[in-house]
């Protein structure tokens, strides 16, 4: 339903910019975006962050392989992102085509136990099949933001008499569409993070590593924020940049303290 709403936003933007013709173009673009995002969203996101496939004998591959076997999952592809900010995410359309990516920063920061907790969390997303929804949402939301920014700079190119529209409605679409896309992303992501935390702890057998990792990542991500595309922020295990005030309404993750409390409460 949420992905359908994201697609509907593309139609509304098309109608606001070009009337009936724009609505048709919005439909074609939405269909094309859904097709591309289903088959290629993982490659798009990995390329966006310059991810490089990890060596078979690397620490990342070793830990992911052991956890995937424990979780009864196919072996995911493993990638390293050349970033100092510590973070990680999973992507792909299904468990057979999953990929796990970790930054150089998180590999340096965390102990093996903590890294196991983080990677098990990502494999829980794979097992719960969250990765398709999250990856497609990232691609469609990025498209919505791109179109809205394009419209903002080029103004729709038509005045009221030529397109019979309302410039106030057009302006509202340009401003509100990216906000709506971010809110939908937030709903997709926040509702799944707690389940992935619990699922990851179950794979490892204890929440201790993930709790310790989340505490470290919360502090480190504020000190060294990741210059992430807002459309993909929900993919990461912890929000890649610090937000406060009104911007906090668009946070793609629940508060880290709440996640830790939930893990510790479940342990009791």
Q: What contacts 137, CB < 8 A, 6 or more positions away?
A: 2, 3, 6, 184, 185, 188, 234
Q: Which of 83, 116, 122, 193 is catalytic?
A: 122
CB 221 within 8 A of CB 242: yes
Token pair listed for 163: 């397109």
CB 144 within 8 A of CB 10: yes
Does residue 218 carry a catalytic annotation? Answer: no
| Other CB atoms within 10 Å distance of the CB of residue 150 | 14
* CA atoms in the 13 A half-sphere facing the CB of 132: 13
* C-alpha–C-alpha distance, residues 155 and 43, integer Å: 32
Catalytic residues: 122
């Amino acid at each position: 339903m949420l992905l359908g709403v994201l697609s509907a936003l593309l139609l509304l933007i098309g109608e606001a910019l070009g009337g009936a013709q724009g609505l048709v173009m919005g439909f074609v673009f939405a269909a094309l975006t859904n097709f591309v995002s289903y088959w290629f969203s993982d490659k798009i996101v990995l390329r966006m962050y310059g991810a490089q496939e990890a060596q078979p004998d690397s620490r990342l591959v070793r830990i992911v392989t052991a956890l995937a076997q424990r979780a009864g999952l196919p072996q995911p592809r493993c990638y390293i992102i050349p970033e100092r900010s510590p973070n990680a995410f999973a992507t792909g359309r299904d468990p057979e085509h999953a990929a796990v990516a970790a930054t150089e920063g998180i590999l340096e920061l965390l102990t093996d136990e903590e890294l196991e907790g983080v990677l098990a969390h990502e494999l829980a997303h794979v097992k719960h099949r969250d990765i398709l929804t999250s990856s497609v949402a990232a691609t469609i939301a990025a498209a919505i933001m791109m179109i809205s920014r394009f419209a903002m700079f080029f103004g729709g190119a038509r005045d009221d008499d030529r397109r019979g529209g309302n410039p106030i409605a057009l302006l509202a679409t340009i401003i509100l569409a990216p906000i709506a896309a971010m809110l939908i992303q937030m709903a997709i992501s926040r509702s799944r993070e707690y389940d992935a935390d619990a699922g990851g702890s179950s794979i490892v057998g204890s929440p201790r590593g993930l709790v310790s990792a989340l505490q470290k990542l919360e502090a480190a991500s504020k000190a060294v924020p990741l210059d992430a595309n807002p459309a993909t922020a929900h993919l990461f295990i912890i929000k890649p940049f610090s937000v406060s005030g009104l911007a906090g309404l668009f946070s793609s993750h629940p508060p880290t303290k709440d996640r830790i409390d939930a893990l510790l409460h479940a342990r009791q």
